[in-house]
Amino acid sequence: MVGGPHYTLRFGRKDGLISRADRVEGHYARTNMTISEIINLFSSINLSVQDLVALSGAHTIGFSHCNEFAKRLFNFSTTAETDPALNRNYAEGLRKLCANYTTNPGMSAFNDVMTPGKFDNLYFQNLQRGLGLLATDNALVTDPRTKPFVDLYAADQAKFFEDFGQAIQRVSLMKVKTGKHGEVRRRCDAFNNLQQPQDSNNKPQDSNKKKKNSSA
Ligand code: HEM
């Protein structure tokens, strides 16, 4: 549909039996993190700086809600209303789009302003021109550890596709669940059993119990 690299993934990866928002924090990158923090996060799961830049190329598709980048658009600093790293026209357009983001929190912008529906290397070329949407996108092109890879992928789409494919294949093999530690869901957004099963880190039906208590 959107194009992009071809890579093979193994069949049969099971879904976990626990899914709780309070277990997520600390395991994924946030837009207010520094590049050092993000590099450390990726490194903690054996992903290199080059993997980080290649995988960030996934922002060639999709969109982000205004609250994820509003800090760059309004009251950025005492001397600049918008982040000076943003292309001026782009910043102006985003300010209009996001003008009412607090009352209309659904407002969103494409991650790749040039070719939002196409998996290509324009995301990296955008970064070089101040057209990166998130502060962390922009940081990839300013930090000396990540910039060489941004420049490499901006110039060479085939290399981006190759490295993205290899990195995502390795991600797909992380923490594979076997036997009764996971299940193949019949619906991708729901456990096969209505009640959330227990694991060794959770008390039985912990979250369901809470729900029952609060509605009592
Ligand atoms: C490196 C640090 C990263 C940060 C800080 C980050 C942050 C974000 C944020 C804030 C959004 C918008 C969420 C929303 O408003 O709904 C987003 C969207 C997205 N991210 Fe990332 N991300 C990072 C890396 C990645 C990686 C490694 C991938 C995949 C390999 C990825 C794939 C995506 C996709 C596909 C979207 C669009 C989702 C949609 O349209 O619904 N991101 N990211």
CATH of the domain at 149: 1.10.420.10
Q: Where are the alpha helices (DSSP H) in the chain?
A: 35-43, 49-56, 88-97, 122-128, 135-142, 147-155, 157-172, 206-215
The model's pTM is 0.89
41 and 135: one domain? yes
Q: How confident is the model at residue 197 (pLDDT cuts 50, 70, 90)?
A: low
178 and 92: one domain? no
Residue 33 lies in a domain: yes
The pick from 59, 68, 134, 145 for probing ligand 1's pocket by mutation, whose C-beta has the most ligand atoms within 8 angstroms, reads: 59
Residue 49 lies in a domain: yes
Q: Following DSSP, what letter does each residue of 133-149 receive, concatenated?
A: -SHHHHHHHHSTTTHHH
Instruction: Classify 110 as helix, strand or coil.
Output: strand
> Once rounded to an integer, what is the mean pLDDT over residues 70-76?
98
177 and 133: one domain? yes
**CA gap 86, 94 in Å, rounded:** 10
Residue 8 lies in a domain: no
Average predicted confidence (pLDDT) for the chain: 91
Angle at 58 between CA 57 and CA 64, to 5 degrees: 110
Residue 156 lies in a domain: yes
Range(s) of the domain holding residue 67? 63-110
Asked if the model's pLDDT at residue 215 lies above 90, the reply is no
Instruction: Classify 23 as helix, strand or coil.
Output: helix
Residue 181 Cα to ligand 1 midpoint, Å, equals 27
Share of the chain above pLDDT 90, in %: 86
Number of residues in the chain: 216
123 and 200: one domain? yes
171 and 205: one domain? yes
The pick from 40, 56, 67, 169 for probing ligand 1's pocket by mutation, whose C-beta has the most ligand atoms within 8 angstroms, reads: 56
31 and 88: one domain? no
Q: Identify the residue whose tokens are 């990158």.
A: 29
Other C-beta atoms lying within 10 Å of the C-beta of residue 128:
14
Structure confidence by residue, pLDDT tens digits, 166-189 = 999 999 999 999 999 999 999 989
83 and 181: one domain? no
50 and 72: one domain? no
Other C-beta atoms lying within 10 Å of the C-beta of residue 59:
22
Residue 6 lies in a domain: no
100 and 148: one domain? no
Answer for the pair 51, 167: CB distance below 8 angstroms, yes or no: yes
Residue 59 Cα to ligand 1 midpoint, Å, equals 6
Pocket residues for ligand 1 (CB within 6 Å)?
Answer: 29-31, 38, 52, 55-56, 58-59, 61-65, 68, 111, 134, 136
186 and 100: one domain? no
48 and 155: one domain? yes
Residue 58 Cα to ligand 1 midpoint, Å, equals 7
